[in-house]
Amino acid sequence: MLSLYFDNENKNEYFFVNNEWFSYPIGRSFIDLISVDFAKRDLSDESAIKTNPLLALFKDYMLINEIKQSNIDFIKTIVNYKIATDYVLNMDNEDFNSLEINTRFYAYQELFNNPLSGTNTVISHIPKPSNVTEIDKATSVIDETLPSEKDIVKKYKNCKFNLIEVYFVTTLEEALYLSFMKMVSSKVMVKKCKCCDKYFIPEGRIDTEYCNRIAPNSKKTCIEIGAMKKYHEKSNNNPILKEFQKEYKKMNARVRLKKITQAGFYKWSESARELRELALKSNWDEFKFIEELNKLEV
Ligand SMILES: [Zn+2]
């Protein structure tokens, strides 16, 4: 059994499982789970699985080795949610992105004849303090007598609560359904990472193209790889940046061949960078830039 808590106002979800609390932005665990390629048994995302509270529901699959032998129904469910995510939540789905999110959900249901099974989960609501100090102040007043209506109103005058929705779920299918529908109703959209091709929920800038997972076969995150790629694309299109790159590599090679010292290289690269900024700012052509670059002492 797992309790799922949604704080709609702050777009957060909480899980209480095995006496431990997990707190994530709404949809994060769902997206991480459907991003694992169970069909290919590619479990390079072991860390994402281990910290995913949704899997606690899945007794038979709690151990990584057992997930590797996961059955076909489980894979079918995951695939269904991947498709649903693409049609309803994916900002990069060009056709469906022209529709409003609830309309997308309706259109998706018509297209696929509603393959997502619902839930019989009972919902309850808990008010969660949002300004704790005021509530502490109010509740610390010890009053033995029964408060009147007026007393109660006065006591809680400055208090604010968020209404938390609580669901107690027993199967993974229920949890996936609830998480997915919560993303739809909270309008939490996703994108497909241009590096690892997995869904992610953009945080901060909406035009982010990369997720912050560790990229496949790399120690760097997709964002870091994306930034490098962008820099290279930019420098390939800009003659000044291209020349700078070329010269930088040449100098770097000289350090390795011990023709110049590390300190000498450092000093050169500082001046070369300054020159590069000046060249970009003053719209030099690459010939003038090379000429000036050659004048730098090494
Ligand atoms: Zn990625």
Q: What is the pLDDT of residues 17-37, one digit of tens each?
A: 777 788 899 999 999 888 887
Residue 221 CA, ligand 1 centroid: distance in Å:
7
Residue 171 CA, ligand 1 centroid: distance in Å:
28
Residue 233 CA, ligand 1 centroid: distance in Å:
19
With a threshold of 0.85, does the pTM exceed it?
no
Confidence band (pLDDT; 50, 70, 90) for 179?
Answer: very high
Residue 188 CA, ligand 1 centroid: distance in Å:
18
Residue 81 CA, ligand 1 centroid: distance in Å:
19
Residue 38 CA, ligand 1 centroid: distance in Å:
17
Confidence band (pLDDT; 50, 70, 90) for 186?
Answer: very high
Contact, 51 vs 211, CB < 8 A? no
Residue 119: the pLDDT is 74
Q: Which residues contact 122 (CB under 8 A, 6 or more apart)?
A: 167, 168
Residue 121: the pLDDT is 77
Residue 228 CA, ligand 1 centroid: distance in Å:
14
> Which range has the worst mean pLDDT, 49-53, 125-129, 230-234, 236-240?
49-53
Q: Which residues contact 280 (CB under 8 A, 6 or more apart)?
A: 238, 240, 241
Tokens read off for 218: 């790399």
Tokens read off for 47: 């860390």
Residue 216 CA, ligand 1 centroid: distance in Å:
8
Residue 194 CA, ligand 1 centroid: distance in Å:
7
Tell me what the pLDDT averaged over the chain comes to.
85
Distance (Å, whole) CA 73 – CA 121 = 21
Residue 193 CA, ligand 1 centroid: distance in Å:
5
Residue 86 CA, ligand 1 centroid: distance in Å:
16
Distance (Å, whole) CA 292 – CA 296 = 7
Residue 139 CA, ligand 1 centroid: distance in Å:
47
Residue 240 CA, ligand 1 centroid: distance in Å:
30
* 260-288 average pLDDT score: 89
pLDDT at 172 over 50: yes
pLDDT at 253 over 50: yes
Residue 109 CA, ligand 1 centroid: distance in Å:
28
Instruction: Find the helix packing angle between 239-256 and 262-281, rounded to 10°.
Output: 180
Residue 136: the pLDDT is 82
Distance (Å, whole) CA 252 – CA 67 = 47
Residue 198 CA, ligand 1 centroid: distance in Å:
6
Q: What is the pLDDT of residues 120-154, one digit of tens each?
A: 777 888 888 888 888 888 777 766 677 788 888 88
Confidence band (pLDDT; 50, 70, 90) for 44?
Answer: low
Residue 288 CA, ligand 1 centroid: distance in Å:
40
Residue 69: the pLDDT is 60
* 178-191 average pLDDT score: 94
Confidence band (pLDDT; 50, 70, 90) for 116?
Answer: confident
pLDDT at 61 over 50: no
Residue 182: the pLDDT is 94
Residue 227 CA, ligand 1 centroid: distance in Å:
12
Q: Which residues contact 171 (CB under 8 A, 6 or more apart)?
A: 57
Residue 214 CA, ligand 1 centroid: distance in Å:
7
* 82-109 average pLDDT score: 94
